[in-house]
Amino acid sequence: MTTQARASQPAASGPAAPQPGASFLTTWFAILDSEDADRILDLISDDFSFAILFSTGGDGATDFHGGRAEMEGYLAQREVGVRTHHLLSASTVGQDELFLGEVRRHGELEATFVASARLTETGRVRRLLIGRSPSVLFS
C-alpha cells in the first residue's frame, strides 16, 4: 500500500463522492506529533467532543473522551516526541474526514489507527473519533 490518499468511485445517485485526502486531519496529526501539540486546541469548535479508544493489545485499552478540558488532559499525559502518525489513506466527504494510518513508536510500527472528524463550516473540528490497535496492521 502506498502513502497516497485513495477514494472509492461514487455511486451514480448516492451521497457526495469522497475526495482524496483529509487536509484537516493531516494537519491535526502533524501538529500532534510536534513539540507544540497544544496548538490543536486552536482547531476545535466551542461545542467540540471527542473519543479516543487507545488499545495496547489484549485487554489493555483506555477510552479518553469529553470536550476541551478532557482534550487538554489527554495532551498533558502524552509522551512528546515518542509516537508519530503516518498516513495510509484518507478521504473527505462534505464536512467529514476519514484517515487510516499507522502509529510508530521511535520509528517502529506500533499500531494501526482510524480517525474520523466532522468539521464546522468555518473549518474547526466539532466531533472527533479515533481508535487504535496493534492487533490489525495494514502493512
pLDDT one-digit tens code per residue, 81-122: 899 999 999 999 999 999 999 999 999 999 999 999 999 999
**With pLDDT > 70 as the criterion, what percentage of the chain qualifies?**
86
Residue showing cell 485487554: 59
The pLDDT of residue 20: 72
Binned at pLDDT 50, 70 and 90, residue 18 comes out as low
| 42 against 8, higher pLDDT | 42
Q: Provide Rg for the chain, Cα atoms.
A: 15
Question: How many whole angstroms from its chain centre is CA 69?
Answer: 19
Binned at pLDDT 50, 70 and 90, residue 134 comes out as very high
The pLDDT of residue 15: 59
The pLDDT of residue 16: 62
Provide the CB-side half-sphere exposure for 9 (13 A, CA): 2
CA distance 35 to 105: 15
Q: Which helix (H) or strand (E) holds 44?
A: strand 44-57
Mean pLDDT of the chain: 88
64: pLDDT strictly greater than 80: yes
Total-model pTM: 0.84
**Three-state SS for 41?**
helix
The pLDDT of residue 101: 96
Sorted by sequence, the CB contacts under 8 Å of residue 51 that are 6+ apart come out as 63, 64, 65, 128, 129, 130
| Residue environment code for 102-120, b if the CB has 16+ CB neighbours within 10 A, otherwise e | bbbeeeeebbbbebebebe
Mean pLDDT of 74-82: 91
